[in-house]
Amino acid sequence: MSDPHFNRIALIGIGLIGSSLAHVIRQRKLADEIIVSTRSAHTLRRAEELGLGDRYYLDAGEAVAGADLVIICVPVGASEAVAKWIAPALTPGAILTDVGSTKGSVIRQIAPHVPEGVHFIAGHPIAGTEESGPDAGFADLFDDRWCILTPTPDSDQEALARLSAFWQACGSMVDTMDPEHHDLVLAIVSHLPHIIAYNIVGTADDLETVTKSEVIKYSASGFRDFTRLAASDPTMWRDVCLHNKDAILEMLARFSEDLSALQRAVRWGDGEALFNLFTRTRSIRRSIVEAGQDTDIPNFGRNAPTQKPDTPAS
C-alpha cells in the first residue's frame, strides 16, 4: 500500500469537512504539519482557538507553498476562485484534491489552472452532517464511509494510490468513478433528499396561518426525522444546485413522475398500487440499513441488483 503520510497538508476552507480532516490528520499522525487557510478572519481565528492547525493564513497562496497535499474544502461555487489564487504557489509534485459534493463542475473550474507537474485528482467523502463551520468537525466523521475519487484517464497513478491510502487512513472506503456518473448518482442519493427536505419545510411554513403552531407542536416524530437535512448550510446547497443542475433536473423529473403516479393512486383509492409500492420500498430501505450503512450507495444505478429497468446507467 502507498504511504498515507504527507510532510505538509494545506486545508483551504475550514468548515465541517476541513476541520474534520484537521482532527483526523492530527489524531492519526497523517502529516508533520497542518496548514489552515480560510477567507474570513473570524473563522481563521476560531480555527486557531480550536488548535486545528500548526500555521494559519488568510492568503491561500501563502498557505499552499511547500505543501505536498492540498485539499480544497470550500463550497463548490468557490472552487475556481481558490484554484486561481493558489495555482502560482503550488509546489511541483504536490497532490491537489478537493471534497466538493459535485465533481464535473469542480473539475472544470479547477483543472485549467493546475500547473504542470502538480497532480490534481478530485474527490468527495460521502460523509457529513447538517452542521457547518470549524466547530462542527470531528475525527471519526469519515470512518466506514465511502470516499469517491474521480480521476481522469491522464491522472497520475502514483498520486491516485497515495490519495487513496490517505483517505483509507482517515477511515474511509475508497471507490473511483467517472465524474459525470458521480454527479448522477449523488443527485438521487444526496441532492434530491436535501431539496425535498428544504421544500417540505417551506410548504409547511407557507401554511402558517392554519397550522404553524401544530407543525412545531407535533413535529417530534416523522416531520422532524424527515427534515433534519433542511437545517444544512444554505451556501453549500445553493452551490450544489447551481453546479449539478442537469443531473438534479433529470432526477427531479423522474421523482415528479413517480409522485404523480402516487398522487393518482391516492386520488383513485388504488390501495393495491399503494400497498405494492410501500412493500417494495420498505424492503429496499431495510436492505440499505442491514447492509451496515450506505455501503452500496456508490454503485446505485450501475450494478445494483434491485435496479429498476429505467434506472440511469453509466
Ligand X SMILES: NC(=O)c1ccc[n+]([C@@H]2O[C@H](COP(=O)([O-])OP(=O)(O)OC[C@H]3O[C@@H](n4cnc5c(N)ncnc54)[C@H](O)[C@@H]3O)[C@@H](O)[C@H]2O)c1
- Residues that bind ligand PRE in the complex, under the rule CB under 6 A: 101, 126-130, 190, 229, 232
Separation between Cα atoms, residue 39 and residue 2, nearest integer Å: 33
Q: 10 Å Cβ neighbour count for 110?
A: 23
C-alpha cell at 157: 497513478
* 22 is an interface residue for ligand X by CB under 6 A: no
| 8-state DSSP, 77 | G
Q: Of 44 and 229, which has the nearer Cβ to ligand PRE?
A: 229
Q: How far is the CB of 229 from ligand PRE (least distance, A)?
A: 6
Q: How far is the CB of 125 from ligand X (least distance, A)?
A: 5
Using the rule CB under 6 A, which residue among 17, 69, 118, 149 binds ligand X?
A: 17
Spatial separation of the C-alpha atoms in residues 98 and 40, rounded to whole Å: 19
The strands making up 6-12's β-sheet, listed across from edge to edge, are 55-57, 31-37, 6-12, 69-72, 95-98, 119-120
* 298 makes contact with ligand X (CB under 6 A): no
Q: What is the DSSP letter of 311?
A: S
Residues in the chain: 314
Residue (of 101, 262, 106, 279) closest to 192 by Cα position: 101
38 binds, among ligand PRE, ligand X, none (CB under 5 to 8 A by kind): ligand X
Cα–Cα distance, 222 to 213 (Å, whole number) = 16
Near ligand X in 123-142, by CB under 6 A: 125, 128-129, 132-133
Instruction: Give the shortest CB-100-to-ligand X separation in angstroms.
Output: 4
Size of the site for ligand X (CB under 6 A): 29
Minimum CB–partner distance for residue 186 and ligand PRE (Å):
7
In whole angstroms, how close is the CB of 97 to ligand PRE at the nearest point? 15
What are the residues binding ligand X (CB under 6 A)?
A: 12-18, 38-40, 43, 73-76, 78, 81-82, 99-101, 125, 128-129, 132-133, 233, 236, 240
